[in-house]
Amino acid sequence: MNPAAAAPVRQGGTNTAENSPRDGLTYRFRNLLGMEPLTAEQIVFLLDQSKPMQEIQRHPLKKLATLRGKSVALAFFEPSTRTRISFATAASRLGADSMNLQAESSSLKKGESLLDTVHTLDAMKPDCIVMRHSSSGAADFVARHLEIPVINAGDGTHEHPTQGLLDALTVRDRLGKMDGLNVTILGDIQHSRVARSDIHLLGKFGCRFKLCGPAMWLPRELEQIGPPGCSIRRASCMEEALVDADVIIVLRVQQERMNEPALPMDEYVMLYQLTEERLKMARPGALVLHPGPMIRGLEIDPSVADGPQSCVLEQVTNGVAVRMALLYLLMGTPPEEPNVSDAAHENRFYRPNVS
């Protein structure tokens, strides 16, 4: 099951039969569990809806009352500062409250099952749950047991859909498009949910991927995980990987993984660090993205991290915008299918279908 989206719903519209997305075609999302089940149209819709949110962030006054009275439960069973704060900020900017569950102090440590913890949270009646967990599929599992929308903020090594969206938004803003680009992903791709979400998303727009990293983290099967027809190749060395790249995504080195099997840090730096020299092999103006947090001097040279091609700070700003858009969209969909014309009382916002 994948309760990603129902059929598109037409709202506001003109008197003509055809309505383009500009005329108010909205997608209803029940949950956001991953990029894999979404269509290219749905993804474009989400990115477009993030634009007004980017604007809000440029206002002197960044707080709205749009979601006032609503609350978002932030259930982070895996430690995370950046993503959690990003979601909390997104909620707050739209006037919603957030309830915080943190792994370190969570009841999970006391042996309570995930389901019980989540049901307890649910009993406090949040309007939406944002969840991060170390087990792949945990968000899917929880979504099947709850009525309220679930946003996957990272499940094991499976997906990190909001990271995929903010990466795509950053690329689209900087390069003006996200179609047909050459994307290079560097690092421990086997264990990266960010890489998977990026591939599932950009792969739907004709992007071609080259993957590079230590061989034991680059299984053959990675070449097949994209959408049908998507070109994904493993590169044997950095030079081959970076040639002609438009976008370079540098993955975090997960230090816990360095031990299974052991790979000396110096070897990693020598073989796989994105240095200025190596960056020159990519197309001029190629973007450097990193999901953070960076370890300067390990996977990325500090001068590259701070250089003009680096987009890391925009990624963070766009992250808040994308999450605001998601909260706005998901918290507006009640669980049952309502009668759309119920709300068509105000002339301003809806044009009832004129037969």
Partner 1 sequence: MKLWIKNGHVVDPVSGTDFPQDVLLEGDRILATGPAAEISQQAKNNGATCETLDATGWVVAPGFIDLHCHLREPGGEASETIETGTCAAARGGFTAVCPMPNTRPVNDNASVTRSILERKASVRVWPIGACSKESKGESLAEIAAMKKAGIVAVSDDGRPVANAKLMRQVMDYCRSLDLPVIDHCEDASLAAGAVMREGQTSVRMGLRGMPSAAESICVIRDGVLAKLTGARLHIAHLSTKDSLEFVRGSRKHGCQVTCEVTPHHFTLIDEDVIYDSNYKMNPPLASREDRDALLEGLADGTVDAIATDHAPHEPASKAVEFDKAPFGITGFETALALALEQLVHTGRIKLMRMVELFTTGPARVLGIERRIAAGQPADLTLFSTDQEWTFHAAESPSKSRNTPFDGRYFKGAPMATIVAGRVAYRR
Partner 2 sequence: MRVVEKSQLMSATEIDRTLQRLAHEIVEKSGGTKNLALIGVRRRGVPLSQRIAQAMREIDGVEVPVGTLDITLYRDDLSKVAAHPVLQSSDIVFSVDDKDLILVDDVLYTGRTVRAAMNALFDLGRPRSVRLCVLIDRGHRQMPIEASFVGRMVQTSDTEIIEVRLREVDQEERVVLVDRVE
Binding site for partner 2 (CB under 8 A): 9, 11-12, 14-16, 21, 24-26, 28, 49, 51-53, 55-56, 59-61, 63-67, 69, 94, 325, 328-329, 331-334, 338-344, 346-349, 351-352, 354-355
Cβ at position 336, least distance to partner 1 in Å: 24
Residue 350 found at the interface with partner 1 (CB under 8 A):
no
x/- track of binding to partner 1 for residues 104-123 (CB under 8 A): ---------xxx--------
Q: Which is nearer to partner 2, 216 or 340 (CB)?
A: 340
Determine the residue type at 205: F
- Distance separating alpha carbons of residues 323 and 166, to the nearest angstrom: 9
Residue 158's binding partner, choosing from partner 1, partner 2, none, with beta-carbon cut-off 5 to 8 A by kind? partner 1
Nearer to partner 1, 196 or 210 (CB): 196
Pairing of strands 9-10, 25-26: antiparallel
Residue showing tokens 């047909």 = 180
Phi (first) and psi of residue 267, to 5 degrees: -65, -40
Residue 30 binding partner per list partner 2, partner 1, none, with a CB distance cut-off of 5 to 8 Å that depends on partner kind: none
Distance CA 344, CA 346 (A): 6
CA neighbor of 42 nearest in space, from 33, 192, 207: 33
193 binds partner 1 (CB under 8 A): yes
Residue 354, contacted partner among partner 2, partner 1, none, CB below 5-8 A by kind: partner 2
Closest CB 147 distance from partner 1, rounded Å: 17
> Residue 140 binds which one of partner 2, partner 1, none, with CB within 5 to 8 A depending on kind?
partner 1
Angle, alpha carbons 293-153-155 (nearest 5°): 95
CA atoms of 324 and 87, how far apart (whole Å): 8
Q: Which of residues 215-274 bind partner 1 (CB under 8 A)?
A: 219, 221-222, 224-225
Structure token digits, residue 294: 């960076």
Among 127, 155, 188, 198, binds partner 1 (CB under 8 A): 155
Q: Which of residues 120-139 bind partner 1 (CB under 8 A)?
A: 133-138
d(CA 232, CA 33): 23
- Measured distance CA(91)–CA(98) in Å, rounded: 7
Q: How far is CA 65 from the centre of its chain?
A: 25
**The entry of partner 1, partner 2, none that residue 222 binds, CB within 5 to 8 Å by partner kind:** partner 1
Report the distance separating Cα 253 and Cα 129, nearest Å.
28
**Non-local CB neighbours of 76 within 8 Å, separated by 6+ positions:** 83, 84, 100, 101, 102, 103, 131, 132, 153
Q: Which residues bind partner 1 (CB under 8 A)?
A: 1, 36, 113-115, 133-138, 140-141, 155-159, 190, 193, 196, 219, 221-222, 224-225
